[in-house]
Copies of this chain bind each other. A is one copy, B any other.
Amino acid sequence: MIFTSKQTLNTNGYHDMASYMETLAKKQKRFISMDSARNNIGITVSYWETLEDIKNWKHQSDHLKAQEKGKNDWYSWFHVRICKVVHEYDFGI
């Protein structure tokens, strides 16, 4: 799941929530890994075993509350793309 976002100027409570969401995501079944980077915009990519696991994570109760806070306070916009990895390779890992 690719989550691309632009923050508002109100980041009150954001960092604690982001940290909690990362901890919580890692506890979900069939979670694989997560990468985040932010400067002008933020990109968070989380990897899961199946599309069903992404759906379950979307509907996780504390995550739902975080999404609501995100829309009300922290994000001026975001874009979510659910993807299937079809091929991967790396260098230096």
A residues lining the B interface (CB < 8 Å) = 2, 4, 35-43, 45, 51, 71, 75-93
Looking at chain A's contact residues, the main secondary structure is strand
Given A76-B92, A84-B83, A88-B81; A35-B45 close (CB under 8 Å): no
Given A88-B81, A93-B77; A43-B35 close (CB under 8 Å): yes
Complex contact A83–B80 (CB within 8 A): no
Between-chain CB contacts (< 8 Å), 9 pairs: A51-B86, A71-B91, A79-B90, A79-B91, A79-B93, A82-B85, A83-B83, A83-B85, A84-B84
Complex contact A37–B35 (CB within 8 A): no
| Docked CA distance A43–B35 (Å) | 8
